Amino acid sequence: MPAIARIQSFASDLTRIRRDIHAHPELGFEERRTADLVAERLASFGIAVDRGLAGTGVVGTLTCGASPRSVGLRADLDALPLQERNGFAHRSRHEGKMHACGHDGHTTMLLGAARYLAETRNFDGTVHFIFQPAEEAMGGAERMVKEGLFARFPCESVFGMHNVPGMRAGTFAVRRGPTMAGGAVFEIAVQGVGGHGALPHAAIDPVLVASHIAVALQSIVARNVSPLDSAVISVTQIEGGHAFNVIPESARMRGTARAFQDRTMEMLERNMRRIAENVAAGFGASATLDFRAMFRPLVNDVREAQFAADVAAALVGEENVNREGLMIMASEDFPEMLRDRPGAFINIGNGEGEGSCEVHNPGYDFNDAILPVGASLWARLVEAKLPAR
């Protein structure tokens, strides 16, 4: 896999850092040890360090030359509340916490690029290395932006990167326009009338009502979403009752909704509310919807996506860059940064074949072989965006 020779020369150091972070996972807004490690490394490279945004966020700033131009590179710090089942030496040492999404690798790749750029200084302008806490559905990006990320650290454009298991190691994919879905969680509370399981005519069964609502919700994507658009509604929980012979008073439904456009997400919410309320009313029950949008759709800037793809192609070859990567129904909070600055989100292959399980899996591990490749892309992107005079 092509990588900058200097970065490849310290690949073993990157592996040690990545495995250390993997062994000590921390959940969102709790990444104190990880933030300390990042800050210490950046400082050792001679990079100015600022801390405190979103609590555990870290921003490193490196300026070379006199150009006022600037660029931001973002990596995520947090782990998942998941019990790891791997048996290797760097497995999680914290019960119920695991780096199952590769944020340990993302952080390490950005540190690798910071080290190289601090050594070579082959650019003219300012690069901000943004290490963001709480990406996993906790709003870390939004909080950093609200607390003044781009006011304190101006960026003409901002870029993020994520690994993709099953995609050939060291290859890249960049898509122009809609790239990842916005995500929401929902809860529907169904109120019926409790009664004896042997006398259902004297009750209004909320479990039956919830079942009909769950089926009816599937008509929204099938009949209200354009065939040229995409969306998902998944009911993942139905809860009601505690006894075999008691029809409960109430039931609860929970799940997730995903869409690639804000207007589609808004339509999903409207129609879910309409269906839940009216299906319940048809049975003599009532239903209320609590719909919480957690992530906005991730939409890459067309020009910046093209730029990132060009940089990747120059590094690994055009044949190893997919410029029309698949639209991904999973969500990210990087769109909160893209709302304020143009930029692009890049995917790097984590490997395919046996052992390349999906993210958020207790058997997942980041592929250390791609650390120098990802770090090299970050470095080349800065050098291309801020060319030395």
The 3-state DSSP class for residue 365 equals coil
* Stretch (H or E) spanning 199: none
Residue with tokens 């958020």: 360
Residues 272-307 pLDDT 10s: 999 999 999 999 999 999 999 999 999 999 999 999
What mean pLDDT do residues 376-388 have? 98
pTM (predicted TM-score):
0.91
Residues 69-114 pLDDT 10s: 999 999 999 999 999 999 999 999 999 999 999 999 999 999 999 9
Residues 134-164 pLDDT 10s: 999 899 999 999 999 999 999 999 999 999 9
Domains and CATH numbers, the chain: 5-180+297-385 (3.40.630.10), 182-295 (3.30.70.360)
Residue 353 pLDDT more than 80?
no
Residue 355: predicted pLDDT: 62
In terms of Cα–Cα distance, which of 196, 194, 237, 232 is closest to 213?
237
Using 50, 70 and 90 to split pLDDT, how confident is the model at 354?
Answer: low
Using 50, 70 and 90 to split pLDDT, how confident is the model at 261?
Answer: very high
Residue 81: predicted pLDDT: 97
pLDDT above 70 coverage of the chain, percent: 99
Q: What is the DSSP string of 173-195?
A: E-BSEEEE-EEEEEEEEEE-B-E
Residues 174-214 pLDDT 10s: 999 999 999 999 999 999 999 999 999 999 999 999 999 99
In terms of Cα–Cα distance, which of 18, 35, 57, 32 is closest to 333?
57
Residue 311 pLDDT more than 90?
yes
